[in-house]
Amino acid sequence: MGTRAYATGVGVLGEWRFCPRCASTITHEERSIACESCGFVHYANAVPAVSALVVDDERRILLARRAHEPDAGLWDTPGGFLEAGEEPIAALRRELLEETGLMIEIGHFVGMFGDRYGDGPSAAEVLNLVWEVRIASGVPNAADDVAELRWFAFDALPSEGELAFRWLGPALRSWAASA
């Protein structure tokens, strides 16, 4: 688990050394890479992800313990990255089914939260799109990249040190206070 020394700069582009068009050496800027030979420019845009705040009638939220890095062993919301061409709601439904075995009813949109996925120069910038959801059918079962699922009361959420990613603690506490 260790410390979370999230990097800055071009993230996933940090390891690029040569232009994908002409194979010339590229120049690294703060938020982009550029090739002086052919004019190619690529920006380090945030990667879209979806997350679900699965709630029940007992004022509890379902959290998932991460099975893999980054932040393995810490609590997270079920969710994941969008696939190419995938709509966010479709991705949310897919990720919840993969990670929990649940079919969900989509509630209100909670918000957008930026963060980084991982440590070091190749960490990706992420834009998390978060919805409140309810279980339509199924029984929670940890699967895919989830080690454990557990219900938490709104007033008994895990501490900051037990939560994955920087955006999660402040977002959960703000949401729980207004729910």
Pairing verdict, β 146-153 and 60-66: antiparallel
Is residue 170 predicted with pLDDT exceeding 50? yes
The answer to whether 89 and 142 are in contact (CB under 8 A) is no
Q: Which residue has the higher pLDDT, 135 or 8?
A: 135
pLDDT score for 124: 83
Is residue 2 predicted with pLDDT exceeding 50? no
In the chain, CATH 3.90.79.10 sits at 47-178
Is residue 178 predicted with pLDDT exceeding 90? no
- pLDDT tens readout for residues 116-150: 888 876 778 899 999 999 999 999 999 999 999 99
Q: What is the dihedral angle through the alpha carbons of 13, 18, 19, 21, rounded to the nearest 10 degrees?
A: -130
Classified by CATH at the fold level, domain 47-178 comes out as: Nucleoside Triphosphate Pyrophosphohydrolase (3.90.79)
- pLDDT tens readout for residues 59-112: 999 999 999 999 999 999 999 999 999 999 999 999 999 999 999 999 999 999
Residue in 171, 166, 82, 164 with CA at minimum distance from that of residue 132: 171
pLDDT score for 5: 36
